[in-house]
């Protein structure tokens, strides 16, 4: 990651942040929370879709799985989003 960050800096990256996939996706609003069980009786299809989405989000943010992957964020001529914990 250091070599990638250095290459980005040489290419003009003004900001660099190293984070995990979990932290980045959580900052963007992914939670992996189960939908309300009450929705299962009132809107079974919607409940199933929400349950599938929650399972996918949980898999992507699992800290011992995919959520543990490192993300190197760099910006050239645009700022990194503050929601990702990036500051100028």
Q: Where are the domains of the chain?
A: 2-84
Rg value, the chain, Cα = 17
Handedness of CA 24, 29, 32, 33 (dihedral sign): positive
19 and 74 in contact (C-beta within 8 Å)?
no
Count CB atoms within 10 A of the CB of residue 22: 21
Strand partners, 75: 15
Q: What pTM does this model have? A: 0.77
Q: Look up tokens 């932290």; give the residue.
A: 23
Strand partners, 20: 70
Taking 3-state DSSP, the helix, strand and coil percentages for the chain, each rounded to the nearest 5, stand at 50, 15, 35
Average pLDDT per run of 10 along the chain, which is 88 residues long? 92 92 93 94 97 97 96 90 71
So what's the pLDDT on residue 82? 83
So what's the pLDDT on residue 86? 66
């Amino acid at each position: 990651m250091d070599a990638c960050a250095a290459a980005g800096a040489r290419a003009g990256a003004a900001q660099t942040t190293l984070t995990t996939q979990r932290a980045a996706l959580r900052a963007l609003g992914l939670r992996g929370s189960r939908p309300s069980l009450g929705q299962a009786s009132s809107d079974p299809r919607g409940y199933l879709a929400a349950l599938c989405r929650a399972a996918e989000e949980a898999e992507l943010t699992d800290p011992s799985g995919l959520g543990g992957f490192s993300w190197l964020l760099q910006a050239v001529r645009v700022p990194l989003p503050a929601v990702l914990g990036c500051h100028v």
